[in-house]
């Protein structure tokens, strides 16, 4: 019993010591943070100034031991001035980069570090900070646009569902229930797109060899495409995430059905180190608002969509070391598709 009490007392004492050390560390950190960038700048310059000054002074002392004291004093004064100038020149870019990093951390994502004519490690640091800030800024902008788009996309089918359910309850109308089922399917499709987008955001790909010809045929036939409209050429096996590829194919077919007057042909073929999947539609071609960048998200179209499906196709293709493409066909209509690499790259496989 006594040994247990001693053990508990020792553990309590150790815990108290750790907490005291932890609080002291945080107090020191906050005290240093409150002093601001000027304190860090002063410390850096002082260290470099003293380092260069001592080194230069020692060299001058050794080289001028046989001279006059006043000559040595002038030499030392000049060397310390040089050391101060070197300290300022070396620390200024680093202090600017630190201040920019703090501003970015505080939410000022438009902050950039002026690289100018600098070269070497500090220029690389400034470029990395600018690239990081730009990526974070773009991601937040996309997230805000996505939230706005999702709220808009969800509001319409949810409103329709409420009206249809009330109608079915009051009139015992089976057609209203069928319409409600269609709205639920539309909601399920939207949620599937959002989940696929989230997987891409976190680079969660489960790639494995997949025969894409069979996968394309399966999705196309389930979407109501005639078997005669589906053609495959060559070995179409590739290392892909089948769930995401299914989503991309479904988006291609949905785009042709909603905005292209229906699916005219579905083709899949091996071309070099890529497998290409493309869909021809029977519509008027690429709409004017999407001609410049067909795969840009959050661009309202005449059909009421916001381009989430096409944007997701491009992201899925890029995640598979591929590309997305869209073009007007000479005979009318549009051809939209994407290509994926046959083999996963080292970086993609690691992700």
Q: How confident is the model at residue 235 (pLDDT cuts 50, 70, 90)?
A: very high
Q: Would you say 318 and 257 are in contact if contact means Cβ atoms under 8 Å apart?
A: no
Q: How many Å apart are CA 207 and CA 351, to the nearest integer? A: 10
Q: How many Å apart are CA 282 and CA 256, to the nearest integer? A: 8
The share of the chain scoring above pLDDT 90, in percent, equals: 20
Whole-structure pTM value: 0.55
β-sheet bridge partners, residue 326: 336
Q: Note the pLDDT tens digit of each residue in 108-152.
A: 888 888 766 666 677 788 888 888 888 888 878 777 776 766 676
Mean pLDDT of 317-341: 90
Residue 264 or 19, more confident = 264
Determine the pLDDT at residue 126.
81
Q: How confident is the model at residue 253 (pLDDT cuts 50, 70, 90)?
A: very high
Determine the pLDDT at residue 6.
53
Determine the pLDDT at residue 34.
46
Residue 125 or 248, more confident = 248
Mean pLDDT of 148-174: 73
Q: Hunting for tokens 């409420």 — which residue is that?
A: 162
Determine the pLDDT at residue 57.
58
Q: How confident is the model at residue 298 (pLDDT cuts 50, 70, 90)?
A: low
Residue 23 or 13, more confident = 13
Structure tokens of 338? 């994407």
Q: Note the pLDDT tens digit of each residue in 59-94.
A: 555 555 555 555 656 666 666 666 666 666 666 677
Determine the pLDDT at residue 162.
78
Determine the pLDDT at residue 230.
95
Mean pLDDT of 230-253: 92
Burial 277-315 (b: 16+ CB within 10 A, else e): bbbbbebebbbeebeeebbebebeeeeebbbbbbbbbbb
**pLDDT exceeds 60 at position 277:** yes
**pLDDT exceeds 50 at position 32:** no
Q: Would you say 312 and 327 are in contact if contact means Cβ atoms under 8 Å apart?
A: no
Beta strands in the chain (DSSP E): 208-211, 230-233, 237-240, 263-271, 274-281, 323-328, 334-341
**Most trustworthy range by pLDDT among 59-73, 169-183, 191-205, 209-223:** 209-223
Residue 159 or 53, more confident = 159
Mean pLDDT of 290-302: 62
Determine the pLDDT at residue 137.
84
Determine the pLDDT at residue 28.
46
Angle at 343 between CA 337 and CA 349, to 5 degrees: 105
The torsion angles phi and psi of 115, rounded to 5 degrees, stand at -80, -45
Residue 144 or 244, more confident = 244
Mean pLDDT of 34-45: 54
Mean pLDDT of 228-241: 93
Structure tokens of 266? 């579905």
Determine the pLDDT at residue 292.
60
**What average pLDDT does the structure give for the chain?**
74
């Amino acid at each position: 019993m006594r040994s247990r009490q001693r053990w508990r007392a020792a553990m309590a004492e150790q815990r108290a010591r750790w907490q005291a050390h932890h609080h002291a560390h945080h107090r020191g950190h906050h005290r240093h943070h409150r002093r601001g960038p000027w304190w860090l700048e002063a410390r850096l310059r002082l260290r470099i100034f003293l380092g260069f000054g001592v080194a230069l002074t020692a060299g001058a002392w050794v080289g001028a031991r046989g001279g006059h004291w006043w000559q040595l004093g002038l030499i030392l004064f000049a060397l310390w001035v040089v050391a101060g100038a070197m300290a300022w020149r070396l620390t200024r870019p680093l202090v600017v980069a630190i201040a920019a990093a703090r501003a970015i951390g505080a939410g000022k994502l438009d902050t950039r570090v002026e690289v100018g004519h600098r070269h070497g490690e500090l220029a690389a640091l400034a470029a990395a900070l600018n690239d990081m800030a730009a990526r974070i800024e773009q991601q937040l902008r996309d997230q805000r646009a996505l939230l706005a788009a999702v709220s808009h996309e969800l509001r319409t089918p949810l409103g329709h569902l409420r009206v249809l359910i009330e109608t079915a309850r009051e009139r015992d109308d089976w057609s209203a229930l069928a319409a409600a089922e269609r709205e639920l399917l539309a909601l399920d499709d939207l949620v599937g797109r959002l989940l696929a987008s989230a997987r891409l955001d976190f680079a969660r790909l489960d790639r494995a060899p997949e025969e894409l010809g069979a996968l394309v045929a399966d999705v196309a036939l389930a979407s109501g495409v005639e078997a005669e409209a589906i053609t495959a050429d060559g070995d179409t096996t590739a290392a892909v995430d089948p769930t995401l590829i299914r989503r991309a194919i479904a988006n291609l077919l949905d785009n042709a059905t909603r905005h292209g007057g229906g699916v005219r042909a579905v083709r899949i073929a091996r071309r070099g180190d890529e497998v290409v999947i493309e869909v021809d539609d029977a519509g008027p071609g690429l709409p004017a608002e999407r001609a410049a960048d067909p795969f840009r998200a959050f661009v309202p179209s005449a059909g009421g969509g916001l381009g989430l499906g096409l944007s997701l196709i491009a992201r899925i293709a890029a995640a598979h070391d591929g590309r997305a493409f869209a073009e007007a066909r000479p005979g009318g209509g549009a051809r939209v598709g994407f290509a994926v690499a046959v083999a996963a790259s080292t970086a993609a496989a690691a992700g």
